[in-house]
Each structure stands twice: as C-alpha cells, then as structure tokens.
C-alpha cells in the first residue's frame, strides 16, 4: 500500500520530511529567471518546472517525497498545470512520492471528479496521478467518500485537513462544541473513522491528517487521539515551527508523521547568499533532517 511505501521511503532515507514545491517565480534567482520569458505564463511555468526538476535532482537522496501546492500552478492556467504535471511525473520517475496539495472538497458527485483528476482516472487514464492528495472536510463524509474509494481502487492516499498551520486556523477549528471537543477534534474523530479499512502493514491508514506543526500542544494531543492516522505536518521553517515543536506529533515507536518545508527550501539560496539554489536547498534539507532527527532521537522507522 502507498502509505507503507511512504513509511518505507522515510525509513530508507532516515528522513521524515517532504519538500514543498510551492514554487513562485520570485523564488527563482534572477540569473535563473532570465533564461525564460517569464513575462508570459508559458515562460514562467517553464522556468518553475525547470527549477523544480533541479530541486528534485538535488534532493533525491535526502528527501523521500515532494508536495506540490496546486495554487502556485493554477496561477498560470494551462501552462501551470503542464508544469505541475511535469514536476509530478519527473519526481515519480526518479522514485519520489508525490503529494498534490489541492485541499479540494465538494458534494459527492463533484468530489468524485476531483478525486479522478488527482488520484484516480478519467477515461481509464491517470490525469495528475499523484500518490496522495489533500482534502478539505467541511462538506462531511460524502465529500470524502469518492477519495477513499479511489484510494482503494488505485492504491492512493489522502491527507484530510484537521488542524491547519495558519494563525487563523483557530477561528473555526478551535471553536468549542457542546460535547467538550473542539471542532478540529470532532474532525479528527471523523478522520479516524474514515481511515478504517485502509490500514497498511505498518499500522497506519492511507487516509491521513494534516496537522499544523505550528501547534505543538494540539498536535501532541492529536497524536494520542488518532494513533492509526499518519500526519502531514506543515508549518516547519518559514511558518515558525522547529524540530523541537514537532517531536510530540510523532509516535516514538513507529514514526507516524512527515514534516513539510516549502519556503525554507525554495529560498535557501537567498539565505545562503548564492544563486546555486539546488545546492542551497540540499544543504538546507540536510540541516532540516538533522534538526528533526536530533529532536526525535530514537524514533524508529520500519
């Protein structure tokens, strides 16, 4: 199962991190931008695609997985989706796993179309063919069910938003219910149910949860609350979370989480004062691995 492949890839590289390719044109060094006509959507998308390929090459033996932020590609319409598909295909051809961060969610029939596009098939053919996709839970079970069905059918996975990393996540997600739970805890309890029946050989479901690394206390409580659910942890780096913040969102025996970093990797060249963005991202990814593994200590990956 795909969740087992993810866990094993993390174990093989000893690195529970995912490189977030939320790539914007301003993340590219000017010297690199200049090679394309970035004034056009096609040129900008091609530049981003080439940048992503170089990053993937630089991270291939450090990071097991990439996460592609769809918004950054939608911005360039058709050319952007072409860059997204190129990036996803290239990463998969090099053996990396691919999370499409699309946060889709709709009524059942529409969710079925989103699921087909991102992890399923259309006319028998894969479309974007990600390994995992992120999903918004606001519409409830019938917006999630088509994704779960495609997880079963095509051996794919999803990560459902539970507690997001952004400052105003508290506004709706932390509201207190009459039964004492917070809204995000109620969502967590639904995710645990939705994930049943998709559990792989390492004890985690192919239906995982997005939990912001920026909320260490809530993340630790969620780790205890949903032991069979794998976590995608955004918010490390530019959003402020450190290795120490995320340690309790991991299971000491079984891992159970993967940490995303986007801007800190994409713009590492700026911090390190070089235009060699690929080497800078590689160095930053190694630092990140050391920070996280240092904090985690003896967490075991199978």
Provide the mask over 3-22, with x wherever binding to a copy of itself is found by CB under 8 A and - wherever it is not. Answer: -------------------x
Sign of CA dihedral 62, 301, 192, 163: negative
Question: Minimum CB separation from a copy of itself for residue 122, in Å?
Answer: 5
The 3-class secondary structure across 89-156, one letter per residue, is: HHHHHCCCEEEEEEEECCCHHHHHHHHHHHCCEECCEECCCCCEEEECCCCCHHHHHHHHHHHHHHCC
How many angstroms separate the CA atoms of 106 and 182, rounded? 23
Report yes or no: 147 and 117 within 8 Å, Cβ to Cβ: no
137 Cβ contact partners less than 8 Å away, ≥ 6 residues apart: 105, 143, 144, 160, 161, 162, 187, 190, 191
Is 103 in the active site?
A: yes
Q: According to the binding rule CB under 8 A, does residue 37 interact with a copy of itself? A: no
Residue from 5, 24, 53, 92 touching a copy of itself (CB under 8 A): that is: 24
Catalytic site residue from 34, 103, 156, 163: 103
Question: Minimum CB separation from a copy of itself for residue 302, in Å?
Answer: 32
The size of the interface with a copy of itself (CB under 8 A), counted in residues, is 67
Provide the mask over 150-169, with x wherever binding to a copy of itself is found by CB under 8 A and - wherever it is not. Answer: -----------x--xxxxxx
For a copy of itself, the binding residues in 62-101 under the rule CB under 8 A are 69, 71-72, 74-79, 81-82, 85
What does residue 78 show for φ and ψ, rounded to 5 degrees? -55, -45
The residues assigned a catalytic role are 103
Interface contacts to a copy of itself, rule CB under 8 A: 22, 24, 39, 41, 44, 69, 71-72, 74-79, 81-82, 85, 103-111, 113-114, 116-118, 122-123, 125, 127-128, 136-143, 161, 164-173, 175-180, 183, 186-187, 190, 234, 239
């Amino acid at each position: 199962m795909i969740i087992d492949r993810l866990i094993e890839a993390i174990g093989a590289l000893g690195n529970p991190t995912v490189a977030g390719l939320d790539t914007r044109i301003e993340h590219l060094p000017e010297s690199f931008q200049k090679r394309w006509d970035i004034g056009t959507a096609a040129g900008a998308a091609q530049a981003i695609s080439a940048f992503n390929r170089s990053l993937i090459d630089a991270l291939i033996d450090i990071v097991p997985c990439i996460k592609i932020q769809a918004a950054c590609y939608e911005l360039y319409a058709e050319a952007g989706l072409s860059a997204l598909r190129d990036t996803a295909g290239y990463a998969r051809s090099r053996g990396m796993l691919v999370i499409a961060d699309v946060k889709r969610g709709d009524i059942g029939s529409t969710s079925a179309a989103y699921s087909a596009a991102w992890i399923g098939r259309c006319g028998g053919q894969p479309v974007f063919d990600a390994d995992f996709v992120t999903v918004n839970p606001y519409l409830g079970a019938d917006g999630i069910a088509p994704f779960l069905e495609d997880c079963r059918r095509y051996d794919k996975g999803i990560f459902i938003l539970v507690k997001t990393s952004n400052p105003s996540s508290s506004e709706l997600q932390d509201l207190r219910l009459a039964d004492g739970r917070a809204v995000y805890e109620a969502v967590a309890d639904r995710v645990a149910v939705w994930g049943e029946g998709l559990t792989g050989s390492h004890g985690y479901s192919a239906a995982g949860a997005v939990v912001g690394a920026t909320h260490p206390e809530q993340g630790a409580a969620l780790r205890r609350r949903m032991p069979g659910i794998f976590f995608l942890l955004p918010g490390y780096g530019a959003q402020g979370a450190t290795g120490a913040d995320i340690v309790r969102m991991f299971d000491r025996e079984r891992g159970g989480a993967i940490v995303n970093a986007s801007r800190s990797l994409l713009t590492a060249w700026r911090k390190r004062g070089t235009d060699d963005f690929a080497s800078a991202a590689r160095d930053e990814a190694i630092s990140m691995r050391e920070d996280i593994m240092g904090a985690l200590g003896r967490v075991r990956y199978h």
